[in-house]
Amino acid sequence: MINKILNIELKSKILFATLFLIAGVIISSMFLYRYAIDIERPFPETKQNNNVSQNNDYKPIVYFGVVSRFSANIIYNGYQPLMDYLTENTPYRFELKLSNSYRETVKQLVNNEVSVAFLGSFIYLQSREKYKIFPILKPLNENGKPYFHSVLITKNNSLINSLSDLKNKKLALPSKQSFSGNWLPLYKMSTLNFNIEDLDSVHHFAHHHTVIHQILRNNFDVGVVKDRVAREYKNNGIRILDYSMPIPGSPIVISANTEKEIAEAIIKTLLNVNIKKEKNRELIKNWDKEFSYGFVRASESDYDKIEEILVEVGKANE
């Protein structure tokens, strides 16, 4: 009898414990279910550290023109950081103003749509007399010299090894207003007694990068671009056949109407960029590669020699 009672008591306890366990599992499962399906995730807190940019918003805007040597997005990616640097370090807010051609930028400068502009050396020489524009700065190359080169390029696997192999070949060139667009046909060929008619065809494209892409796509056999652009593709199927003589770097130009304070602010700020300093190296990391080595003051006379050369071939002042 006692055993029976004990058995019943034991069974009741087991039953109670089992029910308690099941109830616990169900209740905990309900809580876990609610927690598990809670997928709500808020936006992260936006840090309000906009004092600097808010101050910049109130600065007077200075428009900075750029010749269309590259496509718009390449220009924004390479030139906008430089604009930001100038905005941070001058009393002005600099904004880029793009154009569809080299000449349009010159017109923007002359028409006071922009106060300052990145021009090419060739278009500057073409325009300086006519529009009274003045170079204030020019970029340095990797050797610390204020020059660049135009280079003759072809594909790595091309059979072309010298200018003599260009006969009946297709030539791609950048803008007619750029030095690279004129160096080979106007200067180099004339020195080698090679006529442009000896080529199969010649075509000018809007941007330097387009020239390279056309060669890589086998649409053209050779092309001419700035050395800074050719270096980007050095390990990507492009090899350099020939270099131009050193050309004074593409100048930053102001017009006669540009405020002196703006020009001085730009000159002072960009000359302060010392690439030997770690801080500045980090700063210019995102700048266009043409500006990676800093700037040096530019004067009109810097470009006289190249102008003379061009005049010699009778084309410079066309």
Binding site for other proteins (CB under 8 A): 2-3, 6-7, 10, 13-14, 17, 21, 25, 28-29, 32-33, 35-37, 39-44, 46, 48, 50, 53, 56, 68, 72-73, 76-77, 80-81, 83-84, 87, 95-100, 286
Among the listed residues 206, 226, 91, the one whose alpha carbon sits nearest the alpha carbon of residue 151: 226
Rounded to the nearest 10 degrees, how much is the dihedral formed by the CA atoms of 306, 307, 312, 316? 120
Report in angstroms how near the CB of residue 119 gets to other proteins at its nearest: 16
User: What is each CA distance from 18 to 23, 26, 211, in whole angstroms?
Assistant: 8, 12, 80
Q: How far is the CB of 213 from other proteins (least distance, A)?
A: 16
Cβ-based nearer residue to other proteins, 32 or 311: 32
What residues contact residue 39 under an 8 Å CB cut-off, 6+ apart? none
Q: Are 56 and 92 in contact (CB under 8 A)?
A: no
Name the residue nearer to other proteins (CB basis): 102 or 303: 102
Give the nearest distance from C-beta 97 to other proteins in angstroms: 7
Nearest approach in angstroms of CB 128 to other proteins is 24
The residue type found at 34 is R
HSE-up of residue 266 (Cα within 13 Å, Cβ side): 27
Q: Give whichever of 43 and 318 is closer to other proteins, judged by the CB atom.
A: 43
Report CA 212 to chain centroid distance, whole Å: 16
Q: Is there a contact between 275 and 293 (Cβ–Cβ < 8 Å)?
A: yes
Task: Name 160's Cβ contacts closer than 8 Å, sequence gap at least 6.
Answer: 154, 166, 169, 221, 222, 241
Residues contacting residue 34 through CB under 8 Å, at least 6 positions apart: none
Report the relative pairing of strands 61-66 and 93-97 from DSSP bridges: parallel
**DSSP sequence for 217-257:** TTS-SEEEEEHHHHHHTTTTTEEEEEEPPPEEPPPEEEETT
The CA distance from 269 to 90, in Å, is 7
Question: Residue 66 or 263: which CB sits closer to other proteins?
Answer: 66
State the nearest-atom distance from the C-beta of 286 to other proteins, in Å.
Answer: 7
What minimum distance in Å lies between the beta carbon of 104 and other proteins? Answer: 9
Which residues on neighbouring strands pair with residue 139, listed in sequence order? 295
β-pairing, 222-226 vs 170-173, is parallel
